[in-house]
Amino acid sequence: MGESTPLLKDQAIKQFRKRRWVTVVIIFFMAFAIGAENAVILPTAWKYLQSLGSTSELDLGILISAFNVASLISSIFFGWIVDKWMHLCKLVVFVGAIIQAIGSIMYFLGFDKWLIISGRFVCGLGSGTLTVILAELARATSNDERTKYLTLGFGCRQVGLLLGPAYNLPLHGVNTNFGNIRVNEESMPGLVFAVFWVVASVFIFFGYENIGEQYITLLRTLEAKGDSETVQLLSYPSLEDSEKRAFAEHGDPTATNNANDLYSNHVNSSDSNAGARARRPLTETRSIADDIPLPYVDDELDEEETPLVQKGSSSFRELLLDSIVVVLFMQLILFFCQYVVETIIPPTMQTNFGLGTQANSLFYLLIGCEAILSFAFVILVRKRISDRIVILAGNVLLVIGLIFHLVTAMVLKPHSENALSFFIASCTLIFLGIPMASVSSVTLGSKLIGPESQGKMQALRRVATSLGLILGPLWAGSLVHEPLPLYGVTLILVFIQLILFLLSYSRMHA
């Protein structure tokens, strides 16, 4: 039996990685769809409202805000749910897909403006699962893997945002009726995404796994038998790290369970599993041991020998560490800056350079491509450069870009070639720097906390980015022709978050 233990261990790890790969593919497609949905609907939303009798731009603002507000609320709720009951992750993701399908159908039917606004609100509730799936990526990956997986997750959403407007092209000539239901370019996105989320729910039901819980179970199993070398390769921060960093010690450090209690719902005999594997409820976690017997897990283990075998309760206290607060504040400021610049692009291009909507569309396309290049850079350098260095580099690019914006607006004359070149260069620096700093700060934050707080961490990140999304356009829209306060205050905010980051720099080592 002793000779077969390494083989069984390798089989268990291989089986987990296979299941994780399938789940990660589903997660990436969901992130892509959530990004693409907004990009498809927003270009035609105003025309859709007008066709239903709306004459006020306020209705468009309500429609956009309804999605963001609902997403913010559901992100917090879903994040709390999966942190408290990790085995419910698959159920939450499945329910979120169904909710988005319902919201998309409401948007497609479009009998009046309040129905499509309500549909977007319902879709926002479902999109809160983005928090859940990103938290799962953080739970189910080691420190070395996490930067790649989280960056790819953000990158898929960015690709969806980038390619989304192109999906409207084949829908351009659609104009027909099914009974009282009007099918045209404005309503078709609702039908398309209703079908997508129904199909996605089927894949989630049959292919999605609670990979975060399975990963933790695997690590605890290996640690229980003293396989510290493998645990170090697969694990979260070093097992000798402080109480706040070791994922087995979240919540009450004295709360421990016997390994037999911890694995009683996971480790079953191969005979009893043969019929049970065919159908499993959404809330049941499939363990590595369901398919690979693990004889090196004893029925009873001494608690003193299994420091990882502890049942921690996730707590908001862990999220109040200064390093985590700085990461969340950085998210707010970075997205504030992003939406400040995105908001001033159309009026600046029109007023200062005489360029119209076609140039704006091309410019936004280039910005999206820049973001993808930035994500690719983070993935390529993840093993050579620490997250902290990438965050600093991104912030330096952001500061230089904002200074260029200020110089362009204050010193150079409008309609000059130099002014346009400076404006393009400054936007280039900003939209290279923000994605680098943003995704690296999220990755770093996920490495500073344990798996049972990842859901709340992602929920708070969503709150911070939503605040940036709301406040940035308001600030830029009110001061678009007052460059000194517009860029001056924005630069001050960036310097504040940089100072806070540097003060916490030594405690942000993952």
pLDDT above 70 coverage of the chain, percent: 75
Average pLDDT over residues 332-361: 81
Residue 502 has pLDDT above 80, yes or no: yes
Backbone phi, psi, residue 82, to 5°: -75, -20
Query: Across-strand partners of 175?
Result: 184
* pLDDT single digits (tens) 462-495: 888 888 877 887 788 778 888 899 999 999 999 9
Q: What is the pLDDT of residue 306?
A: 37
* pLDDT single digits (tens) 191-210: 989 999 999 999 999 999 88
DSSP reduced 3-state for 278: coil
Q: What is the pTM of this model?
A: 0.67
* pLDDT category of residue 169 using cuts at 50, 70 and 90: low
Cβ proximity of 83 and 132 under 8 Å: no
* pLDDT single digits (tens) 258-312: 333 333 343 343 344 434 433 445 554 444 444 433 333 333 333 333 333 333 4
CA distance 253 to 266: 24
Q: What is the pLDDT of residue 15?
A: 85
Backbone phi, psi, residue 184, to 5°: -150, -170
If one compares 510 and 25, the residue with the highest pLDDT of the two is 25
Q: What is the pLDDT of residue 278?
A: 38
Average pLDDT over residues 168-180: 72
Greatest CA separation found in the chain? 80
Q: What is the pLDDT of residue 234?
A: 55
CA dist 74 to 96, 211, 440, Å?
A: 9, 22, 24
Cβ proximity of 488 and 494 under 8 Å: no
* pLDDT category of residue 103 using cuts at 50, 70 and 90: very high
* pLDDT single digits (tens) 123-149: 999 988 888 888 888 888 887 788 788
Q: What is the pLDDT of residue 188?
A: 87
Helix (H) / strand (E) element for 330: namely: helix 322-353
* pLDDT category of residue 106 using cuts at 50, 70 and 90: very high
Backbone phi, psi, residue 34, to 5°: -65, -40
Tokens of 143: 């420190």
Q: What is the DSSP annotation of 402-420? A: HHHHHHHHHTSPTT-HHHH
Let me know if 481 is exposed, middle or buried by CB neighbors in 10 A (0-12, 13-18, 19+): exposed
Identify the weakest region by mean pLDDT among 79-83, 325-329, 417-421.
417-421
Average pLDDT, the chain: 76
Q: What is the pLDDT of residue 4?
A: 58
Q: What is the pLDDT of residue 54?
A: 80
* pLDDT single digits (tens) 366-384: 887 888 888 888 888 888 8
- Dihedral class, residue 11 (left if φ above 0, else alpha if ψ from -120 to 50, else beta): alpha
Backbone phi, psi, residue 488, to 5°: -65, -50
Q: What is the pLDDT of residue 162?
A: 67
Spell out the domains of the chain, with CATH numbers in brackets: 5-209 (1.20.1250.20), 213-305 (no CATH), 321-507 (1.20.1250.20)
Average pLDDT over residues 399-425: 83
Q: What is the pLDDT of residue 510?
A: 58
If one compares 52 and 221, the residue with the highest pLDDT of the two is 52
Name residue 24's amino acid: V
**Pure H helices in 85-187:** 89-109, 113-127, 129-139, 143-163
* pLDDT category of residue 37 using cuts at 50, 70 and 90: confident
Q: What is the pLDDT of residue 201?
A: 94
Q: What is the pLDDT of residue 498?
A: 94
* pLDDT category of residue 316 using cuts at 50, 70 and 90: low
